[in-house]
Structure 1
Amino acid sequence: MKTITMADVAKHAGVSKSTVSQFLNKRYDYMGAETKGKIEKAIEELGYSPNIVARSLKQKSTKTIGVIVANILHVFSTQVIRAIEDYCNESDFQIIVCNADDDPVKEKRYIDMLRAKQVDGIIAFPTGGNVELYKKLIDAKFPVVFMDRILKDVQIPTIMTDNVKASSLAVGQLVERGYRKIGMISPPIHTCVTPRLERMDGYKQALEKNGIPLNPNLLVSGELTELADKIHNMLTQASPPEAIVASNDRVLLEVLAYTKKHHLAIPKDIALIGIDDVSFAGIYTPSLTTIAQPAFQMGKKAAELLLSLIRDKSNEEVFGIYRFEPTLITRESC
């Protein structure tokens, strides 16, 4: 079967090859409706499909970006991905999504793979284990934007929630409802996972602001597989918390699983606020008070910054840390 070329389309439509090229590249603001109609009809009748590889080589762009998430199971991650995809689709870019599982080895493998596929840029939730590799990307003027993580000494535009405020909103709401013994449950506190550190700091600052002494026995952190036992120890100690702040969506699920298993009533037996507005928060019984991150706005901003860098690699105006405000969504769990 003969391969249909751009020249075949031009001949069939009765226009020049350059006119077809302009049409395919959407540079047809001054092209007449009749001409566009002829080209569209020729493409449909001939079954023409542009050679994407050839166009990429000619334009020095694959119109593709990579998105490396730390853990795709997080609600925040999937919402950010959706926002990035929406924005890129409007700009005729495609995305390749990679799940690093917070593993530096996987992250490096994905970076190498994406570079080999000649993506035009990368949005990453960095693990913290590939600082030197990211520095090399900077030196090569390869467009990169970070999401949700700050790497010190790496000058890359970074999108963040105001995590200190997120914890402050949660503690403030609990204090307003009369709770004083407030605990916090978190995944392991790693220096490279900025939100965990900042949310813990925000929790401590909020306690101090409200005149509540910090009680180390009301702080729990650990791997998800360990949390059930640690939650049990926290809630069965001599002076257990009256309320809990779950520092992310997956921790919230562990707390809910524990309360269900041990027949604890929310908020009668234990009040609860989760940071991350999970999709079922409004229909759970009781409905869950949460701190929502503006994930869609954050994802859109990350895509905007990356495409700006792709268009102008020397654009230093985009560098910096962009903070987004969290929102308290009051429901019935506290």
Structure 2
Amino acid sequence: MKAITMADVAEQAGVSKSTVSQFLNERFDYMGKETKVKIEKAIEELGYSPNIVARSLKQKSTMTIGVIVANILHVFSTQVIRAIEDYCNESNFHIIVCNADDDPTKEKRYIDMLRAKQVDGIIAFPTGGNAELYNKLIKANYPVVFMDRILTGVPVPTVMLDNNKASLIAVSQLVKDGYQRIGMIAPPLSSCVTSRVERIDGYKQALQKHGIPFNPDYLVSGEITDLEVKIHHMLTQAEPPEAIVALNDRVLFEILTYAKKQQLTIPKDLALIGIDDVSYASIYSPALTTIAQPAFQMGEKAAELLLSRIRNKSNEGILDVYRFEPNLIKRESC
């Protein structure tokens, strides 16, 4: 069966091939309504489907970007992905989402796969293990934007929360509510995961600001699978913390699970604030006080930076760290 071409559509519609091309590329500035209707009708009657591969080769663009997230289970990651997709859709770009599981080997495979598919650029939550590879991409003038994490020595525009301020807001609220023994629970610490390092630094600085000595027994970090044991050890000390800051949404879930299992009443037995707003925060009983990240605005900014880089073929003016303000949502858990 003969493949239907653009020339066939032009003949059926009684217009030139260049007019059909303008229609397919949504360049309607000088195209009358009648012409558009004729082309639409011809496409429908012939069952024409544009050759995306051929168009990509001609335009030297696939109109596709890759998004590599560290862990797709995080609420923040899914919200950022949605914002990126929305922004790209408005610009006729598509996205391919990859979940690296904070594994540099997996991240590298995804980078190689996305490059093989000739995507026009990448937004990544970098693991920290592929700095050399990212620098090679930059040297080749390939568009890259980082989200949530800074890689030292890799000059890439990066979108971040003001993580120090998020911890300061959390600790200050707990102090305002009358708590002095304040702990923090975190996932595994890594210098590559900038947000975790900054939130812990912010926690320590906030304690100092309020004249509260830092107690190393009140700072716990570990794999999610190990946190129940570590939380139990923290809360069964002779003088346990009265309040806890959960560094992210997955840690918050583990604390709530432990509290339910041990029949702890929040906030009577343990006050709680989580960094990252979660969908169930307002309907949990008691409703959970959280520090929200403006995830949708951050995702939009990352997409804006990447598409600007793709279109302009230049890093000029976008080699910065873009910080967003955290927002306290006061509820009943403290």
**Bin for the TM-score computed over the shorter chain:** over 0.9
Match of 2:188 in 1: 188
- CA positional deviation for 1:2: 2.2
Name the aligned partner's letter for residue 38 of structure 1: K
State the TM-score, normalizing by the size of structure 1: 0.99
Match of 1:65 in 2: 65
**What is the CA–CA distance in structure 1 between the aligned matches of 2:218 and 2:79, rounded to whole Å?**
31
Match of 1:101 in 2: 101
Match of 1:209 in 2: 209
Match of 2:17 in 1: 17
Match of 2:44 in 1: 44
**What is the CA–CA distance in structure 2 between the aligned matches of 1:184 and 1:313, rounded to whole Å?**
43
- CA positional deviation for 1:109: 0.3
- CA positional deviation for 1:315: 3.8
**What is the CA–CA distance in structure 1 between the aligned matches of 2:226 and 2:53, rounded to whole Å?**
48
Counterpart mapping for 1:253-332 below 5 A = 253-332=253-332
**What is the CA–CA distance in structure 1 between the aligned matches of 2:11 and 2:221, rounded to whole Å?**
68
Q: Please, which runs of 5 or more residues in structure 2 have no aligned partner? A: none
- CA positional deviation for 1:286: 0.4
Q: Please, which runs of 5 or more residues in structure 1 have no aligned partner? A: none
**What is the CA–CA distance in structure 2 between the aligned matches of 1:15 and 1:44, rounded to whole Å?**
16
SS of match in other structure, 2:317: helix
Q: Structure 1 residue 175 and structure 2 residue 167: aligned?
A: no
| Residues 28, 166 of structure 1: alpha-carbon distance in 2 compared, 3 angstrom cutoff | same
Counterpart mapping for 1:74-85 below 5 A = 74-85=74-85
**What is the CA–CA distance in structure 1 between the aligned matches of 2:125 and 2:314, rounded to whole Å?**
23
Match of 1:229 in 2: 229
SS of match in other structure, 1:22: helix
Match of 2:89 in 1: 89
RMSD: 0.5
CA deviation vs aligned residue, 1:46-102 (integer Å, no higher than 9, x gap): 111100000000000000000000000000000000000000000000000000000
Name the aligned partner's letter for residue 215 of structure 2: N
Name the aligned partner's letter for residue 332 of structure 1: E
CA deviation vs aligned residue, 1:259-289 (integer Å, no higher than 9, x gap): 0000000000000000000110000000000
**What is the CA–CA distance in structure 2 between the aligned matches of 1:332 and 1:79, rounded to whole Å?**
24
Name the aligned partner's letter for residue 148 of structure 1: D
**What is the CA–CA distance in structure 1 between the aligned matches of 2:58 and 2:220, rounded to whole Å?**
55
Name the aligned partner's letter for residue 186 of structure 2: S
CA deviation vs aligned residue, 1:235-272 (integer Å, no higher than 9, x gap): 00000000000000000000000000000000000000
- CA positional deviation for 1:44: 1.0
**What is the CA–CA distance in structure 1 between the aligned matches of 2:299 and 2:52, rounded to whole Å?**
27
Match of 1:26 in 2: 26
SS of match in other structure, 1:67: strand
- CA positional deviation for 1:25: 0.7
**What is the CA–CA distance in structure 2 between the aligned matches of 1:47 and 1:28, rounded to whole Å?**
22
**What is the CA–CA distance in structure 1 between the aligned matches of 2:296 and 2:324, rounded to whole Å?**
11
CA deviation vs aligned residue, 1:173-224 (integer Å, no higher than 9, x gap): 0000000000000011100000110000000000000010111111100111
SS of match in other structure, 1:29: coil
Taking only the aligned residue pairs, the percentage that are identical comes to 79
**What is the CA–CA distance in structure 2 between the aligned matches of 1:152 and 1:312, rounded to whole Å?**
25
Runs of 4+ in 1 over 3 A off after TM superposition: none
**What is the CA–CA distance in structure 1 between the aligned matches of 2:97 and 2:158, rounded to whole Å?**
18
SS of match in other structure, 1:318: coil
Match of 1:126 in 2: 126
**What is the CA–CA distance in structure 2 between the aligned matches of 1:314 and 1:266, rounded to whole Å?**
52
SS of match in other structure, 1:44: helix
SS of match in other structure, 1:226: helix
**What is the CA–CA distance in structure 2 between the aligned matches of 1:237 and 1:318, rounded to whole Å?**
49
**What is the CA–CA distance in structure 2 between the aligned matches of 1:216 and 1:106, rounded to whole Å?**
34
- CA positional deviation for 1:319: 1.2
**What is the CA–CA distance in structure 2 between the aligned matches of 1:94 and 1:167, rounded to whole Å?**
35
**What is the CA–CA distance in structure 1 between the aligned matches of 2:223 and 2:190, rounded to whole Å?**
11
Match of 2:160 in 1: 160
- CA positional deviation for 1:45: 1.2
Name the aligned partner's letter for residue 226 of structure 2: E
Name the aligned partner's letter for residue 265 of structure 1: T
**What is the CA–CA distance in structure 1 between the aligned matches of 2:318 and 2:199, rounded to whole Å?**
26
Name the aligned partner's letter for residue 140 of structure 2: A
